[in-house]
Amino acid sequence: MNDKTENENSMINNYLAHQQERNALGIPPKPLDAGQTADLTELLQNPQDADPGLVYDLIAGRVPAGVDEAAKIKAHFLAALARGEKSSPMVSAEQAVYLLGTMGGGFNIDPLIELLDDLQLCSKAADALAATTLIFDAFEKVFEKSAVNNQARGVIDAWAEAAWFLRAPQVPETITVTAFKVEGEINTDDFSPASEAWSRPDIPLHATAMLRNRIEKPLETMAELRQKGHPLAFVGDVVGTGSSRKSAANSLLWHIGDDIPHVPNKRRGGVVMGGKIAPIFFTSLEDAGALPIECDVSGIENGDVLVIRPHEGVIENADTGKTVAEFSLKPATILDEVRAGGRIPLIIGRTLTEKTRTRLALGPSEIFCRPVQPGKSPRGYTLAQKMVGRACGKDGVRPGQYCEPKMTTVGSQDTTGPMTRDELKELACLQFNADLVMQSFCHTAAYPRTVDIKMQESLHQFIKQRKGVALHPGDGIIHSWLNRMLLPDTVGTGGDSHTRFPVGISFPAGSGLVAFAAAIGFMPLDMPESVRVRFTGTPAQGLTIRDVVNAVPYAAIEQGLLNVEKSGKKNIFSGRIMEMEGLSHLPVTAAYELTNAAAERSAAAAVISLDEKPVAKFLKQNIEILSLLVREGYGDRNTIEARMEKMQAWIDDPQLLHADADAQYAADLEVDLSRITEPIAACPNDPDDVRQLSQIAGTPIDEVFIGSCMTDISQMENAGKILENAGGAVPVRLWIAPPTRLAARHLRHQGWFYTYGRAGARMEVPGCSLCMGNQARVADSAVVVSTSTRNFPHRMGNNCQVYLGSAELAAVSAILGRIPDPDEYRNHVADAGLVPAI
């Protein structure tokens, strides 16, 4: 036996051993990597004693789709088999063409187009291409060939007739499921625990952690429910709040969805029912081909067998025959999305069909259900409606209008980035079409596992190869950097729920939609309604922008527009755009705290009206920062320099959009800042549960965290000024994490690191640190005052109780070892010589 044959046999033996290990966990083996695929192609040519069924199954179904390196090896090998350049006793030329047609798009497309000229294989190549939608630039090759090649003409006709769509089964009249119901609010951290973020790209493995912090024995419970013989449908009162992580949807669909043919370790479909489904989670389900249904779930119990009638909008109890809920499907295209395998496949396929029909001088296809567009209105546009309108080449867009705004800026971070990378591969993306795509490494920089180090290195190169901007571990938080790359009044997205631009507007999304936006350069959007938040009055001296942030839910609760209870949840902001007015003088960094906090309101997006002066100042600073990146060798250099040029062009001719006076809003909320006489904090463990300081004063605390994207240099300095008066180490565990390396360098040079050290602070690598809780965590059952974004159960630590407030309040609490009363807070702020921050 030669070394080559020994390596190939070793590959099979290693794979079988790995398969056995994974079987013990109840999950399938990982997809093949490039090295394994290369060995497999050799084995297919010279199988020796290999099991032919196993070897064929591996090449057919265990190699990733799209433009993965393993897929490249597979496509080249199959193309060589089809051309007769290589041979295999296990895969005929005809089978090779068939397998090329199952690879989605990317490296398989050119060989299939070439095979349209092969007399023996042309019809099979045509069948494969007719069912493929990830064609992109290769469309012109097929269209040109169609003038002289009947098979190519057949492909063009099939695209025009949407054969790729019609081959898929329609959504049935009835769907029978068993309800897997979890009471209360189920957030994305319940579905995809932050502590297990390292495993998110490995969907089956990560899914084993789903709900482990929420209910007892979730996997065993689901296994028992499956014994009833029906697929499971997930049911909850409030479903999918919190972060935008697509891993939450991936984990859920692993348990309730269906395998995707020829795409290993990923599932689609399934049914999710909720009294309220958070907007980002809803769209993530859409993108994955699931059927999300918002309805009253109070009549559904765990274990009920349900008959869903999707075309009628009725859910019945299978045992009693009684109707337990009624619903309206949304959006209007949802059944087409399910049939196509997801919203993104539908958009890509529908675009291909319409492009083909246009070239053939045919009218629009009548096969698809079209988005229902709102009627014309004589009213003006809101600020958000104008921003999105400009990105669509219009004056504005109306609520409910389907549109596809241009993506000017797209952000990705490292616990969702690996999934975004996988989605980009499946989309056959080799270069970004969005103007600027930025990747950060803020969640894994501080305490990386070996798997994190490998991810950081490979993902950094992946982004740069596609002309994106890749930061380095230790540079800091995604938002603190991405905000420095924004252009006023433009539209973008990001794979983190706190991607909420302080200038322009962002619609955060799961990794699938983020990948689509980065690759294609636009994103699908059903324009949400807007809620106007008008700030009036002036808060008391010593209060901060974080108190203004918390004043929004405080006022909404007072006015009956928001409640804390999960059953019968009321939230005027959910799924809508928060449009804020009355603080136009704010620095952009302070404005970001307000737009950022829209994530905790479950808003679809947020905008704030600012004056030209603070925006111009911000952009001038940003040009200097981006120039530094260029000098330090960050890439892609051309992308960074192009953004700097556009910033300078705006500075040279500063113009900002503004809402029309007669614009219409779904609701108005007035926040009278003169009524804020003391700090406001969010209480454990709900960012909506805000209370005045006097209501929580005296609560003993164990730990304090000052950091996250809700802090900037000025707040870090204010905390330092307060801590200077501590006279030594504070009586609690104190964590401090600067948002960026530039902020850390400034604070160090100004001597604040010395102050933090005297107070006994644990200094963290610039980045997210405790905010997400995927690496460093507070002690079990600790009571914490934190400046972080949210305080969901178990997020920062097991069974911890977290209060959210300003850096100033956190510093005073650290000194006292308890939450201060208003007078104590004011005295410490005054002793530190602090001036109002608003």
Q: Could you give the CA distance from residue 723 to residue 257 in angstroms, rounded to a whole number?
A: 52
| 536 annotated ligand-binding residue | no
| Paired tokens of 177 | 């499921």
Q: How far apart are CA 809 and CA 807, in angstroms?
A: 5
* Whole-number Cα distances in Å, 766 to 415, 442, 446, 476, 590: 16, 8, 8, 5, 19
Known binding residue 777? Answer is no
Please check if 795 is assigned to a binding site.
Answer: yes
Question: So what's the architecture of 679-831 in CATH?
Answer: 2-Layer Sandwich (3.30)
383-526 and 679-831: identical CATH topology: yes
What are the residue boundaries of the structural domains of the chain, listed by start?
3-134, 175-330, 383-526, 530-673, 679-831
pLDDT at residue number 6: 59
Helix axis angle, 417-426 relative to 450-465, nearest 10°?
50
Tokens linked to 231: 């697929």
pLDDT value at position 835?
74
* Per-chain mean pLDDT for the chain: 95
Predicted pLDDT of residue 2: 56
Classify domain 175-330 by CATH architecture. Alpha-Beta Barrel (3.20)
Q: Is 309 annotated as a binding residue?
A: no
Q: Which residues of 392-412 are buried (b: 16+ CB within 10 A; e: fewer)?
A: beeebbbbebbbebbbbbbbb
Q: Is 413 annotated as a binding residue?
A: yes
Q: In the chain, what's the furthest Cα-to-Cα distance?
A: 88
Would you state the structure tokens that stand for residue 280, as one six-digit string? 């980002």
Query: Is 801 annotated in some ligand binding site?
Result: no
As its CATH architecture, domain 530-673 has: 3-Layer(aba) Sandwich (3.40)
Rounded Cα distance between 480 and 709, Å, is 6
Helix (H) / strand (E) containing 352: helix 343-359
Q: What is the DSSP string of 116-138?
A: GG-TTTHHHHHHHHHT--B-GGG
pLDDT at 1: 47
Q: How many Cα neighbours within 13 Å face the side chain of 138?
A: 19
Tokens 């539209």 belong to which residue?
491
Q: What pLDDT is stored for residue 529 in this prediction?
A: 98
Give the CB-side neighbour count of residue 146, counting CA atoms within 13 A. Answer: 20
β-partners of residue 707 are 737
Q: Edge to edge, what strands does the sheet with 530-536 contain?
A: 605-608, 577-581, 530-536, 667-672
Q: Is 200 annotated as a binding residue?
A: yes
Judge whether 699 is annotated as a binding position.
no
365 labelled as ligand-binding?
no
Residues in Cβ contact with 348 at an 8 Å cutoff, skipping those fewer than 6 apart = 133, 134, 427, 520
**Residue of 534, 504, 528 whose CA lies nearest to 577:** 528
Secondary structure E strands in 303-363: 305-309, 314-317, 323-326
Distances (CA, A) of 118 to 93, 105, 122, 221, 314: 11, 20, 5, 54, 52
CA 807, 808, 811, 812 torsion-angle sign: negative
The SS3 of residue 605 is strand
Task: Say if residue 382 carries a ligand binding annotation.
Answer: no
C-beta of residue 349 within 8 angstroms of C-beta of residue 356: no
What confidence score (pLDDT) does residue 373 get? Answer: 86
Q: Does domain 383-526 have CATH number 2.60.40.10?
A: no
CA dist 612 → 90, 535, 654, 762, 823 (Å):
68, 19, 7, 39, 37
- The pTM assigned to this predicted structure is 0.93
From CA 96, how far away is CA 336, in angstroms rounded?
Answer: 31
Answer yes or no: CATH 3.40.640.10 is held by domain 3-134.
no
User: Is 653 labelled a binding residue?
Assistant: no
Report yes or no: 469 and 252 within 8 Å, Cβ to Cβ. no
Name 797's bridge partners. Answer: none
Ranges under pLDDT 50 in the chain: 1
Backbone angles phi, psi at 360, to 5 degrees: -90, 5
At 462, list the tokens: 């992946």
pLDDT tens string 616-627: 999 999 999 999
- pLDDT, residue 375, reads 87
Instruction: Look at residue 244 in the predicted model and tell me its pLDDT.
Output: 74
* 414 annotated ligand binder: yes
Structure tokens at 130: 């007719």
On the CB side of 558, CA atoms within 13 Å amount to 14
Residue 415 counted as an annotated binding residue: yes
